[in-house]
Amino acid sequence: MSDTMDVLEEKANGGPSMDIIDDLVSVRDHEAFAAKHMPDLGHDVKDFQVYTWRISRWKSLDKRLTSPDFECGGHKWRILLFPFGNSNAPPNDTVSVYLDYADPKKSPEGWHACAQFALVISNPQDPTIFTVSHAHHRFIAEECDWGFTRFSELRKLFNIQEGHSRPTIEDETADVTVYVRVLEDPTGVLWHNFVNYDSKKETGYVGLKNQGATCYMNSLLQSLFCTRYFRKAVYQIPTEDEHPTESVPLALQRVFYHLQTSDQPVGTTELTKSFGWKSFDSDQQHDVQEFNRVLQDKLETKMKGTKAEGAISKLFVGKMKSYIKCVNVDYESSVFEDFNDISLNVKGMKNLHESFKDYVAVEMMEGENKYQAEGFGLQDAKKGILFQSFPPVLHLQLKRFEYDIQRDAMAKINDRHEFPFEIDLAEFLDEDADRSQSWNYKLHGVLVHSGDRYGGHYFALIKPDRETRWLKFDDDKVTPVTDREVLEENFGGEPLNGIAPPLQRNQVRAMKRFTNAYMLVYVRESAIDEILSPWKDEDTPAHLKRRLEDERLQIEAKKREREEQHLFLTAKVITDDTFARHEGFDLATFDEKNWPPSELPSFRVLKQETYSTFKSRVASHFNVPENKIRLWVLVNRQNKTVRPDTHIPENEPTLTVEVIRNNMAARQNDLRLYLDIIPDPSKPEPPAGSIMIFLKHFDTAKQTLFGIGKEYVSRNSKVQDLHSLINERMRWAPGTPLKLFEEIKPGMIELMKQKHTFAQSEIQDGDVICFQVEHSEKEIHDIEAQSLYSNPIQFYDFLQNRVMIIFRPKFEEPDHDHPEFSLILSKKQNYDMMSQKAGEFLRHDPIKLRFTTTHATNGSAKSVLKRSLNQSIQEIMVPSYVNPTTTVILYEKLDVSIVELETKRSLKIIWTGIHNKEEASYPFLLPKTSSVHDLADHLAKQVTLTTGGTGKIRVFEVSKDGKFQKEFTGSEMIGNIPEPVELYAEVWQRYFIPKSDKFNFVKQEIPRDELEADETTKVISVFHFNREVARTHGVPFRFVVRPGEKFADTKKRLQTRIGVSDKDFAKYKFALIQVATFKQPSYIEDEDTIYDHKFAPEDVLGLEHIDRSGRARMAGEKAIVIRG
């Protein structure tokens, strides 16, 4: 019996027990009873059966009973009853009853059955007295019984309940009935728990891993992957010499290749890194349409000059015509433009056909709204849009989100909106369009958004080709779906099957209201065979296959290595060369907290490999005769040093490396060895009575401490005997005075007594002796006066406290003027020393450097370091559990002293000039007591104002929705203006790319007509948008409208105001955005007089045109930027 029985009451698909039933429906009236107590779940019924089991002498029953088997839907079932509760229920207090799949062991492997059922205990004499509970479940081998552990309290069944004349169990007798509907499961995944589900096996496709909030990206990538012509075009971009994290085409090729070949979900981290995204960018959900446009623009650029050039246009670009056609004279004004997708209204539209009709709806220009036709004067006219052509792959954006001006936020439209599997778009074409082939389109993909304006989840429904069924691509899972799941369940709004039953159905409906289609992909039927043609092996570039196959083999080798790791150990070998390059304690660094381990030659060795075999490998690796090497085992001493202790015996041929590790280096996971080169192979053993010591030289001039080598010395010789040996090895003059120190352990470096013997000094094999040339008192004073170390004790203290700090530019990408670099500092040093050393490296005045700590998890800026505190490096360092060996600090190269910054405020001004364009940015450092008016005066000295203009400057912020200016009066003290990170993050990004988190203003020169505006004129707000009112860009501005002025003349002044060429200005559209009718913009004609409009405070004039900066966005949304 499965454990799932015990917790069923907590599961959503189990209905509650109904002890008292008001409507008298008999358990024996099967159809009526099922209609009342088994809600329609929306699935086809394969079979329906009812089975009743009479139970007598209830109080004498066994603890567990099963009914005879019965059949339903080709499966055998039975009732499983615990008359007094099963083991997990209170004893003798509860009845437990389940539907049990009979003898699952005899069923074929991988069997399952989807059943909806109701379990009933009723009075045999009066079948209208009963207790019932219903549920549904996918029965599988691991969960072959399902039901109700606490079906009912026993006393309620034995006692007469209110409104009844009999108890349910009367004279210890009752009927236990089960109603079973076995449901069709056309997809094979109905109510699947997806434990051990294999997408590749079930569908032939695999999913994409979600990095945090990248489901919107995953759904689009799967759609593009299944658009096989697009996949081929991406593969045609040359990428042989590129790196995946720096090349969008290569990273996308790799994702597509893995989707083709992998049997596991594919990661997208490489791809997002190629976009230039950090980890926090992957946690930001974005608009699918915007991401699609940005990605296609990037790929189109990369395709230029390659075989793939033009593929994006061929696949996704259509052409439309905006026209105004006179009714009574032969005159038409039209503009043609390309489109990559079409945004269709959902609100007020019943279906896709109505949305298209709305898009091309003709607007009559008549009466007071007549059109001024060139050469014909005022004329009645028709205004509208017609399509010249649709692309082979048509992306339709359903406008499920709209900007709510009153709430200053986006709102989701969950209205029902139907779309078909097939649509003929010929009726929406211009009469001159090519109709030689059908304009019939087949539905290829549905991108779905489930959630509300605050967030949610994206997934894709795709039909990859004519033969393949519809599939659901939901991040890492791919599952088959029914036609109903493609259409009806994504129309949004209320379901059409009438009033849903209570209980669990309410929950299902509530979810459906927020799950609906957001983007549709249609493929022209005549182009399907080309666009979705079967994939051939030669369609995948050979260089990509080779590269990824090599990587696959490497991954498999590493996997095998991990799986077999228990059979191996790692041997790390210290040589005289590695010792000579080592600057630190011992012979090498292994486990030091604040310093990376030494890079040592390593060997992966089978634990059972004999020492003689291993020694031969080592000799061969270092190209040394085998009889000239001796290997010493390093051990962890009690004083926390790691030193050579004993050499491995040569006379035990069966000795294995595991025995050596276990017996000679017991407290180590790996084997650490020192390679001792024997000068005379005829004397393989160390000299009798000798000690192997290691020598290090501390060079006061270079401030370095490096290994010199090893020496065998007699235990009874004196320490001073080393002097002549060292002088000879260092090629110093005989008699050069030396000081010798023993490196006992970190923090304990002691001057050795020259006349003691090595035995008296307790020197043993593997000990380290450090030497330096002896200096006079004056020399020592001069050395220390330069903040240098005069002896090894001081330098060892530095080594014990040294840390590596990485410095990165705070706002710029690393370059020649702003490099990324690292410094080795002591934790005992302070801010001033760090600043001095950083200044020396950067060749920049240390007092003009500002430092900021970082978050260890993602490297983002944390807090500015204050020089006045002069903290120690220990205090500055941020504890990191990710990589404890390094700390990252951001730096800024300032033009002023950071001392000044304590009394001044750093500001950056974006100057837009008279033409509402971002001309330049100007940094200022002013006393915090300065006013915004003072700031304007300083700017006026740096910018060129219009000759004959007002000479006045306005300082303002931009509203969050990008539509209004929020002007400063000029009297505000700049030190009192709130810090900008919260205030400006979105506003700044709406129209420029931030370079710092300093406070940022926008400034404009005030036009003369605005300054001189009187009570007969109006000053209105004007903003820029592209296609959708919420997709704003540029800098909003104020503009004077005059009484009686036709909009044709207003436009001329607008063109002058923003400084746009005639060619570009001809493509502009103009709309009035009103609070009262914020749902749709009201487009303005040349004969309109906008002065006559009664402007509410939040009414604005919108200029609709393409954003040339590429920085458009939805209100409150961060822009998508792809840099790779």
- DSSP-derived secondary structure for 402-439: EEETTTTEEEE-----B--SEEE-GGGB-TTS--SS--
Residue 543 lies in a domain: no
Pairwise CA distance, residues 911 & 918, whole Å: 6
Total of domains in the chain: 7
Q: Are residues 133 and 46 in the same domain?
A: yes
Q: Are residues 707 and 812 in the same domain?
A: no
Pairwise CA distance, residues 519 & 342, whole Å: 10
Residues facing residue 460 across a β-bridge: 447, 473
Q: Are residues 379 and 482 in the same domain?
A: yes
Predicted confidence (pLDDT) per residue in 991-1025, tens digit: 222 333 334 444 444 455 544 555 667 888 888 88
Pairwise CA distance, residues 796 & 671, whole Å: 27
Residue 983 lies in a domain: no
Predicted confidence (pLDDT) per residue in 34-47, tens digit: 999 999 998 999 99
Predicted confidence (pLDDT) per residue in 763-774, tens digit: 999 999 999 999
Cα–Cα nearest to 122, from 152, 92, 100: 152
Residue 710 lies in a domain: yes
Q: Are residues 661 and 768 in the same domain?
A: no
Judge whether 775 counts as a catalytic residue.
no
Decide if pLDDT at 428 tops 60. Answer: yes
Q: CA neighbours within 13 Å on the CB side: how many for 28? A: 9
Read off the pLDDT of each residue in 700-712 and give the average, rounded to a whole number.
94
Q: Residue 259 belongs to what H/E stretch?
A: helix 248-261
Among 215, 226, 326, 770, which one carries the catalytic annotation?
Answer: 215
Residue 992 lies in a domain: no
Q: Are residues 295 and 357 in the same domain?
A: no
Cα–Cα distances in Å, from 174 out to 22, 49, 157, 895? 20, 20, 9, 92
Measured over the CA atoms of residue 840, residue 842, residue 844 and residue 847, the dihedral's sign is negative
Q: Are residues 158 and 29 in the same domain?
A: yes
Pairwise CA distance, residues 647 & 649, whole Å: 6
Decide if pLDDT at 499 tops 50. Answer: no
Q: Are residues 664 and 649 in the same domain?
A: yes
DSSP secondary structure, 220-242, as one string:
HHHHHHHSHHHHHHHHTS--TT-
Q: Are residues 642 and 656 in the same domain?
A: yes
Pairwise CA distance, residues 757 & 719, whole Å: 6
Q: For residue 143, give the CATH number of its domain.
A: 2.60.210.10
Mean pLDDT value across the chain: 83
- Residue 991 is predicted with a pLDDT of 26
3-state secondary structure of 107: coil
Residue 148 lies in a domain: yes
Q: In this prediction, what percent of the chain has a pLDDT beyond 90?
A: 44
Predicted confidence (pLDDT) per residue in 625-656, tens digit: 999 999 999 999 888 899 999 999 988 878 99
Q: In this prediction, what percent of the chain has a pLDDT beyond 70?
A: 85
Instruction: Determine the structural domain holding residue 708 and report its residue range.
Output: 690-790
Decide if pLDDT at 495 tops 70. Answer: no
**Alpha helices, H only, 279-330:** 288-303, 311-316
Read off the pLDDT of each residue in 471-476 and give the average, rounded to a whole number.
92
Residues facing residue 794 across a β-bridge: none
Cα–Cα nearest to 512, from 534, 487, 493, 537: 493
Pairwise CA distance, residues 1085 & 1070, whole Å: 8
Q: For residue 506, give the CATH number of its domain.
A: 3.90.70.10
- Residue 949 is predicted with a pLDDT of 58
Q: Are residues 212 and 228 in the same domain?
A: yes
Q: Residue 384 belongs to what H/E stretch?
A: strand 381-389
Q: Are residues 452 and 572 in the same domain?
A: no
Decide if pLDDT at 123 tops 60. Answer: yes
Q: Are residues 345 and 276 in the same domain?
A: no
* 785, amino acid identity: A
- End residue of a domain, out of 645, 677, 709: 677
Predicted confidence (pLDDT) per residue in 562-599, tens digit: 888 889 999 999 999 999 999 999 999 988 877 889 99
Pairwise CA distance, residues 222 & 340, whole Å: 18
Judge whether 144 counts as a catalytic residue.
no
Predicted confidence (pLDDT) per residue in 179-214, tens digit: 999 999 998 899 988 888 888 998 999 999 887 767
Decide if pLDDT at 1119 tops 50. Answer: no
Is 987:959 a contact under the CB 8 Å cutoff? yes
- Residue 196 is predicted with a pLDDT of 83
Q: Are residues 644 and 523 in the same domain?
A: no
Q: For residue 581, give the CATH number of its domain.
A: 3.10.20.90
Residue 43 lies in a domain: yes
Among 30, 192, 353, 457, which one carries the catalytic annotation?
Answer: 457
Instruction: Report the Cα–Cα distance between both ends of the chain, in Å, rounded.
Output: 56
- Residue 709 is predicted with a pLDDT of 93
Cα–Cα nearest to 48, from 130, 118, 111: 118
Is 632:677 a contact under the CB 8 Å cutoff? no
Residue 1123 lies in a domain: no
- Residue 1111 is predicted with a pLDDT of 46
Read off the pLDDT of each residue in 336-363 and give the average, rounded to a whole number.
91
- End residue of a domain, out of 183, 209, 235: 183
- Looking at residue 961, the DSSP 8-state letter turns out to be T
Phi, psi of 1073 (to 5 degrees): -105, 110
- Residue 989 is predicted with a pLDDT of 24
DSSP secondary structure, 704-731, as one string:
EEEEEEEEEEETTSBGGGHHHHHHHHHT
Residue 930 lies in a domain: no
- Residue 884 is predicted with a pLDDT of 53
- End residue of a domain, out of 183, 210, 228: 183
Helix, strand, coil shares, percent, the chain, to 5: 25, 30, 40
Residues facing residue 50 across a β-bridge: 179
Predicted confidence (pLDDT) per residue in 218-233, tens digit: 888 999 999 999 999 9
